[in-house]
Structure formats: structure tokens, C-alpha cells
Amino acid sequence: MSFLMLSAADVALLLDASGPGLPRVRHFGAAPGTDDGAELLPLLASLVPAPPLLPAQGDGWYGRPGLAGSRDGEHWPVRWTTAGVDVSAEPGRGGTVTVTAADERAGLALVSEVAMDAHGVVTLRHTVTNTAASAYRLAGLVCALPVPARADELLDFTGRWALEKVPQRRAFGHGVWSRENRRGRTGHDATGLLVAGGAGFGFRSGEVWAVHAGWSGDHVHYAERLQEGAALLGAGELPEPGEIVLRQGESYRTPLVYFTWSAEGLDGASARLHDHLRAARPLPVRPVTLNNWEATYFDHGLDRLLELAGRAAAAGVERFVLDDGWFRHRRDDRAGLGDWYVDEGVWPAGLHPLAKRVRELGMQFGLWFEPEMVNPDSDLARAHPDWVLGHAGRLPPPHRNQQTLDLARPEVYAYLLERIDALIGEYALDYLKWDHNRDIAEPVHDGVSGVHAQTLAAYRLLDELRARHPGLEIESCSSGGARVDYGVLARTDRVWASDSNDALDRQAIQRWTGLLVPPERMGAHVGAPRDHITGRSLPLAFRAGTALFGHMGVEWDLTSASEAELEELAVWIALHKRLRPVLHAGRVVRADHPDPSALLHGVVLPERAVFGYAQLASRPESAPAPLRLPGLDPAARYEVRVAGPVPGSALMPWWASEPVRLPGAALAELGLPAPALQPASVVVIELERV
């Protein structure tokens, strides 16, 4: 078979396997309207040059090579010969293509695995094996797919601690636009999703292509356009020199790289990725979670925590998580990290009194860990200084008073597995908050860079704990959103999008993180009235209305809250629980709202929908723009009503006084008259099909 096509959900990937080299990717994007891709071959072959599955100069590709490496200074350009192509596919249902190839002169063998799921998401990975007697030093192996000339604009993301996922756009011109991460973890400034599309594409309009590397260590995302007209998006791991050396018979396999396409703007691409993640690992109902960190910090007085738990349960919280400070010597962030034993001085009866009371109140119990890190001022570091990831005899630059443990050392891995496993068993933990609070500097393992081995060891540890405790849930927190990727999400149940609970910043952070992460996997907490990071004071209705649209939680000292505040919080939590079947299962939609001072977004199911209209700043016009609600069935009629508390200062339109029934087409095209809101206000709108 010389022509292969994977297709599903109006997406197609067309491969020209006429050989003798690797199959060439002739098209990735909209389905071409035929199940017989072979009839398109003459047309496609006459269009823009098509790169092979793994671009190489020997195939006439003069851009960034898919594979880079050498043998003791010798460089043999690779020219693959395909040995076999295995196809398992059904038109319209996706499938897989596995290509085996080799270059005997270069002493390398290759397996390329391409898969398309039922939602049109393509995953690609390569495995290269050294078949020669001499060692092969792999410098890079990436996955890439082509995009057409009309994709002439790029969107990616940057950010910092407490302000992640800041978008940035640029023209997609000639050359390479590369985002490289060498922080040892995904990073606050990681792009997450690199998008190419037609100029001006938005959430609801335009054709877009996107790529994401499912890897939690050093990585690269890039876009490249050659003078010959070919262009592509690619991603993969970013190894340091000497980090990956393949002896004869040894292999290296790339992380999975995810590609998506949409003719319906960013929302269409995002929906495919959400559907892919949901299908890969469905989750149970997401419990409303209280984390005590910003409530008590290192103050672990039992009476105070019991009172906090009582107030949380009364407000409707379903899970209580005890954060940093419960283990030996941990009275601040300068000592104790790595000593994973309950501090007998603070907890003479262990954590049992708190865990018992939490469960009596009907809540689950969870615990914070930072397994990959250690304080130099700890029993562990004093007993095992050689366990630190770094040069022997020289500590890496310190940060946050901590260093990184070398998880790839068997004795380090065994210690962490035993300690965490024992604590899960002793306290029947329902939940782990798994933190990772620093970038990794000078990560030397056995004389070479250790990020690759460190990342795989962290994955193994997560996998083993889940295998031993099938009901356990794990949150990936990395000083906020510094480890948000599909590599860690394959092993965890949610991510902490940011350490900032400031609802104004959170509106944007959650909006853009949500391109990759569906709401039920994105932690979103109601913080204190005055935010602990920005110092900004915001009303409870705005804080709760922002957290409503994620995996809702609370990070606020409820012992300091008034009875009126507790009652209002309980109303919002009850609303979240009632709307949870929609919020955590529907399609996320984001309006391209014309007012830059406001955001309009929602979650839509065939029978129900929930929208949030948030006023972030003062309006540039005297009257707010109409609310055009995207994603609804234009042929259906909907009952529209306000859900949840309304800001006292809001001027509400006529439709808010009682439910009204309107056609989906009218709601999408004409819209609703918008409430007139003050800055830092939100109104929740509920729709039900009638």
C-alpha cells in the first residue's frame, strides 16, 4: 500500500508510502472528502514539498533535522530505508500506522508510531535503536508534522511564577521559531501549546494547527518555514550533550507528541485535546477541596486545623488537604524537606486525630509532599549528601533553600517509595498534593545531565504508587503551573494552574491553561479576601465565580470568615456541585467578545450549558456589548436564567428577573443584553434545552 490515510472527526492525515524512504506526510488537516486517498496522490505530489515522518537532509529536507547525533565525532547523514509499514485503521475512526526503517551504513534502526484517536488528535513518537558496535550519542529526536502556507501566524505562551500562560503572537515567517526549556521541569514560561493558523484566528474562528510535547523535563517546541515553501510544527525532548548515549542494541524513545487541527479556531483544537484526555483516563466526580496552605501556612496547631475542618465541612467542602509543615523539623521552608516522617513534636499522636475528624465530617483526607526535593538542613541530606542531584563535592546553586534529589539512584527511589507508600497506608490517604518547587540546576547524574533519567524516575514513582493504591488521586503542583503537560497528566488527576489565587489574574490564567487542560483537571480555589500574593482585595462573589469554572476548592482561613461570608461561600459551593455535571463534562467555549475589559466563556452539553460573564476592568463604552453565547445548537430553544448570587452593584437586564426562552441561533447571533457590572464582578448564566 503506497498511500495511507488516517481520518476521524473531519480530520485526516495522509501519508505517501511509495518509498524507498520514510513515508512522506502529504496532508494534515481537514478531511479531503474521500476515503480513497490514493486518487489524491497526483494532486498532493504536485503541491508544496512534503517532509518525511522524520525529516532528514538525505531526503531533501534542508531545515531542522528530526534526528541529530554522532559516533565519536563521526557524522553519518541518515537516509532511512523503510522495512515495513503496519496499518490498523478504519475510515472515519482513526487508527495507527507503525513504520519500521533502518540505515545500515549509519548503524541505526527506527520505529515510528502514528496514531489518530476518534477525536482527530494525532500522537506521534519515534524509537531509534543503535545497531552498530560503537556508541551513538543522540543529540535530539523530535516529532513534526507539516502545516500549509496559509498558516501564517503563531501563538505561544510565556509567563512567570504566579502569572502563567501569558499569550504572545507573531508572524510565521521564514526560519525557525523555537521555544526551548532547560529548567528540568516543564516551567512557568513553557509554551504548553504552540499554535499556527491564519492571521487573526480567534477562539471561535479561523483554521489552526497545534502541537504539544507530553514531557515534564527539558523540551522544545518549534515552528519552521523553508524557502521551498514547506512548513511544519514540531516538538520533543531537549537532551543535553552526552545525556543520551546508546550502546549497541540500546534504544531511545521520544515522549508522545500531540498534534491537533481545527477549522473552528482555538476552541475547536482545545475541544479535541480535552476529549482525548477524558477518553484516555475518565475521572470520578471531582470533590470540592480545601487546602490549608494560605489558611495556616506552617501553623499546624491541632485545634486550629480542627476548627478549619469543621467550617470547611459546614460550607460543603468534600476533601481536606494538609499542606506543607507536617513532617520532621519543618517549621519553615529552610529545613526538614526530605524527612518524610510525621513530626512527633507537633503531632504527638500522629496525624490520626485530624484524619479521623476530617472523615467524621464526611470529607476525604489528603497530604502534601515534595518528593523530588531536599533541604540541606535535613536528616536525609546530612546522612546522604551523595543523594543530591549534581556534581560530586559541589552543590548546585541553591534556590528556596533546597536541592534536588537524584531519583534515578535506586536507593533514593526506594527510600521515597517506601516512605510515601507507608504514609498512604497508615493514614488511608485519598489524595496526594505532589509539589516541585524549583527549577533544576546542574542536574548531573553519573557524570552526565540527569534530567532525562530524573523525569523517567518521577514517572515510575507516580506509576508505582498508583498501582499500589488504585483509588489514590494525585495533584501535580509545581510552584503553581510549572509542571502542566500531558506527560504528568497521564499519571495525575489534576494540575495546580498557579500559586496565585487572585481571581483577576486567575481569569486569564485559567482561560489559557484551559486550552490544554479541561476544567475538571484544573485546580481553582477561592482565596482570601485580600490576596496573599498580589495584595489585591476582591469580593467573594468574584473569587467564587472564578473558581466555579475549574476543579473548585478553597484556600482561605475560614476561621477568620464571618458567618455571612461562610453562608455565601456555601451557596457558591452548592452551585458548583449542582452544575458540576456540566462544568466537568461539557465542551469549553470562549467568546471572542469585543469588549477587552470583559471575558465571556462557558461549558456546553447538548441539553445544558453554563456561562460566566466576568467584568475585569472599567468598560471603554458606557453600555456593555451584547453577550453572544457560542457553542449552542442553533435549532434548539433554551431557557435562560441567572444562576448563583448577583453582585449588588450590578444593573441587571430584563431577562435576569425571571427565566426566558429563546432560540439558540438568536442567543449566538444576536446575544443577550449584558449586565452592567463593576470591575471584579461575575454573573453566572445557566441554560437548559426545552
- Which residues are catalytic, by number? 435, 499
* CA pair distance 225, 233, nearest whole angstrom: 9
The residue type at 570: A
Residues 52, 26 contacting (CB under 8 angstroms): no
Sheet bearing 67-70, strands edge to edge = 67-70, 136-141, 244-246
User: How many other CB atoms are there within 10 angstroms of residue 521's CB atom?
Assistant: 27
* CA pair distance 525, 500, nearest whole angstrom: 9
* CA pair distance 50, 130, nearest whole angstrom: 27
Residues 337, 379 contacting (CB under 8 angstroms): no
C-alpha distance from residue 575 to each of 316, 519, 581, 644 (Å): 10, 16, 11, 7
392, with CB counted inside 10 A (0-12, 13-18, 19+), is: exposed
* CA pair distance 145, 122, nearest whole angstrom: 10
> Which segments of 389-494 does DSSP mark as H helices, in order?
410-427, 451-468, 486-489
Which grid coordinates belong to 6?
488516517
- Match 441561533 to its residue by C-alpha cell: 665
Q: Which is nearest to 109 in space by CA: 90, 142, 82?
A: 82
C-alpha distance from residue 403 to each of 334, 337, 372, 440 (Å): 11, 9, 9, 8
Counting every residue written for the chain, the total comes to: 690
Q: Which is nearest to 194 in space by CA: 522, 486, 515?
A: 515
- Beta-strand ranges (E) seen in 54-188 are 67-70, 81-89, 95-103, 108-116, 122-130, 136-141, 143-147, 153-160, 163-171, 175-181
Residues 174, 509 contacting (CB under 8 angstroms): no
Q: How far is CA 90 from the centre of its chain?
A: 30
The values of phi and psi at residue 152, to 5°, are -115, 15
**CA neighbours within 13 Å on the CB side: how many for 402?**
23
Which grid coordinates belong to 11?
480530520
* CA pair distance 266, 515, nearest whole angstrom: 7
With a CB cutoff of 8 Å and minimum separation 6, the contacts of 138 are 67, 68, 69, 128, 239, 244, 245, 246, 252
3-state secondary structure of 546: helix
DSSP state at residue 415: H
Before 282, cis peptide (omega within 30)?
A: no
- Cross-strand pairs, 234: 144, 222
* CA pair distance 491, 470, nearest whole angstrom: 12
Cα torsion through 290, 296, 302, 307, rounded to 10: -60
C-alpha distance from residue 436 to each of 58, 139, 387, 459, 460 (Å): 42, 27, 17, 13, 16
Residues 494, 476 contacting (CB under 8 angstroms): yes
3-state secondary structure of 25: strand
**What H or E segment, with its residue span, contains residue 303?**
helix 302-315
Strand pairing category for 3-8 and 11-16: antiparallel
- Cross-strand pairs, 388: 405
